Amino acid sequence: MDIPVKNYWFSSVLLLAGSLLLAAAAQAAPFTVQPVAPGIYAFVGELGLRTYENEGMNATAGFIVTPEGVVVVDSGSSWRVAQQMHTAIKTVTRAPIKYVINTGGQDHRWLGNGYFQAQGAQIIAQRKTVADIEERGAMQLAGLQQELRDRFAGTEIVLPDQTFEQQHTLTLGGKEIRLLYFGGGHTPGDSVVWLPQDKVLFAGDLVFVDRLLGVLPFSRVGDWLASLAAIEQLAPAIIVPGHGAPCDLAKARRETADYLQLLNNHMREALNNMVDLQEAIDSLDQSAYAHLPNYEMLKGGNASRVYLELELQ
């Protein structure tokens, strides 16, 4: 479909002006704000460890603007970070925050819940995400309190108000917003936010780009790969990952699915051949991903945890 030149030029000017306002609002915040599609934005945090300087916001979140209000996807790593998110949102719209969706149980997905709940937002998450927060929340809170100190003031455990199982649909201001659960992966409750009208997917911690992903002790790579296969079926035009900048499906596949498949295939073959853990790790060639930040820190643990997961099957 052809776009009229005048309309395209005017839209481009508006997008540029909005980007400049967002950049100014986020200047002191531990994230950058990137327009993704009309009315859809990403908060892109740093790629390394959680630090005092980045306020624990080493992840990507975002928000969706509709004529009837705003939906925030993941509430950030603290009350203060959530407040900084809201400051950036106000440069785009003065509409109220209607909903906050927690896409998983990692701290940067939900520790800003208290701030947004105080603004009147309803918080939604998959049922296993709530169970994950209940199980690990106090530990995550204590860990970030030690790291962030004064920047963590006001942050507390605030559970979602509403849960769903496999799917839940919000319709706000004519925008259809689907919350979908395919079985988790990085954490047990990892879910996605799918905008079918825009072909945009907020993938949460199911997709890592621009840095090496981490396989955690409670990650399940089999479930993770199944969730990624379900994402492929949606065929999103743009993915807002859980870590890294918005990307296309091909990049998400290369830096997340292909890497997990490499780990899974190698370790399964090692177990079938009765190769012990250390030999299996030593014989695994992960060098195609050596250019990604956190590679040296994570590659060994990733390999060993996939081996141990498969060993228990």
Beta strand 122-126 pairing with 97-102: parallel
Q: What is the pLDDT of residue 72?
A: 98
> Nearest-CA neighbor of 31 among 100, 90, 87, 71?
87
Q: What is the pLDDT of residue 29?
A: 87
Nearby residues of 101 by Cβ (< 8 Å), 6 or more positions away:
71, 72, 73, 74, 123, 124, 125, 179, 193, 202
pLDDT tens-digit readout, 145-177:
999 999 999 999 999 999 999 999 999 999 999
Pull the structure tokens for residue 71: 């939906």
Distance of CA 97 to the CA centre of its chain: 19
pTM of the model: 0.91
Beta strand 238-243 pairing with 200-208: parallel
Amino acid at position 76, single letter: G
Pull the structure tokens for residue 51: 């630090």
Count the Cβ atoms, other than its own, within 10 Å of residue 277: 15
Alpha-carbon span 302 to 196, nearest angstrom: 33
Q: Across the beta sheet with 122-126, what order do the strands follow?
A: 32-37, 40-44, 60-66, 69-73, 97-102, 122-126, 162-164
Pull the structure tokens for residue 273: 């051949």
Please provide residue 235's backbone torsions phi and psi, each rounded to the nearest 5 degrees: 55, 55
Kindly list the structural domains of the chain, giving each domain's residue range(s) and its CATH number in brackets, ordered by start. 5-249 (3.60.15.10)
> Nearest-CA neighbor of 189 among 197, 180, 199, 198?
180
Q: What is the pLDDT of residue 215?
A: 98
Which portions of the chain are predicted below pLDDT 50?
Answer: 1-17, 20
Q: What is the pLDDT of residue 12?
A: 45
Nearby residues of 202 by Cβ (< 8 Å), 6 or more positions away:
62, 73, 74, 101, 103, 192, 193, 194, 240
Q: What is the pLDDT of residue 274?
A: 96
